[in-house]
Structure 1
Amino acid sequence: MVAREAVLAFLRDYKRDCADRYGIVELGVFGSVARDEAHGASDVDICVKTATPDPYALVHIKEDIQERLGVPVDIIRVRPKMNQQLKQRIEQDAIYV
């Protein structure tokens, strides 16, 4: 199980170290980890806002975070033109660092 505060601390450091490389504007966690409801089989849901829409950057961010955290990670790029219901659900839970 991954603790919310541990993930947030990790994401703060990751954003500081990798924002320029990947164009990260905002980085956060949503879902069960953000709600502090994660259990042993929970993955970590990451939301990211980037300066440019680079799908390769998302793949690298996901793989990098997943390797460093040692747990499965899902990542979604939050953007103005996306499914508004999904965006609302993400923003409802999201904790940005």
Structure 2
Amino acid sequence: MLKLNEIKQFLVNYKPIIQEKYQITELGIFGSYVRGEQTEESDLDVLIDYSDVPSLLDIVDLEFYLSDHLGIKVDVVTKKGLKPRIKENILAEVIYV
């Protein structure tokens, strides 16, 4: 199972490529990996913001790209797409890279 530092290092290393390919302005992680509560079944929650609105296909492509490179399931959420009832909690725990 990957550790938080390994995930952060990967994202830091690949951030320029990800930003260019997907027009992402912010990239962060939140959820069980940030809280240290991940299990073998946990997915990685990734929060993004963007300069150009990504299509659903772009988001799915990014999920596959990250999943393939990290070897774990990745769930990508857009900052603007956060539901109001959970937005505050997510923004409080997100670690941006």
Normalising by structure 2, what TM-score? Answer: 0.88
Alpha-carbon offset, residue 49 of structure 1: 0.7
| Counterpart Cα distance in 2 of 1:82 and 1:18 | 21
Aligned to 2:67: 66
Identity %: 29
Alpha-carbon offset, residue 47 of structure 1: 0.7
Aligned to 1:8: 8
Aligned to 1:92: 92
Aligned length: 96
Q: Provide structure 1 residue ranges, at least 5 long, that are not aligned to the other structure.
A: none
Alpha-carbon offset, residue 83 of structure 1: 2.2
One-letter amino acid matched to 2:87: K
| Counterpart Cα distance in 2 of 1:85 and 1:15 | 29
Normalising by structure 1, what TM-score? Answer: 0.88
| RMSD of aligned Cα (Å) | 1.4
Q: Provide structure 2 residue ranges, at least 5 long, that are not aligned to the other structure.
A: none
Q: Tell me, what secondary structure is at the counterpart of 1:2?
A: coil
Residue-by-residue CA offset, 1:43-92 (whole Å, 9 max, x unaligned): 1111111112112221111110001111111110112x642222212112
Where in structure 2 are the equivalents of 1:45-64 lying within 5 Å? 45-55=45-55, 56-64=57-65
Larger % of helix: which?
A: 2
Taking a change above 3 Å as real, the CA distance of residues 82 and 31 of structure 1, as seen in their structure-2 partners, is closer
| Counterpart Cα distance in 1 of 2:63 and 2:69 | 10
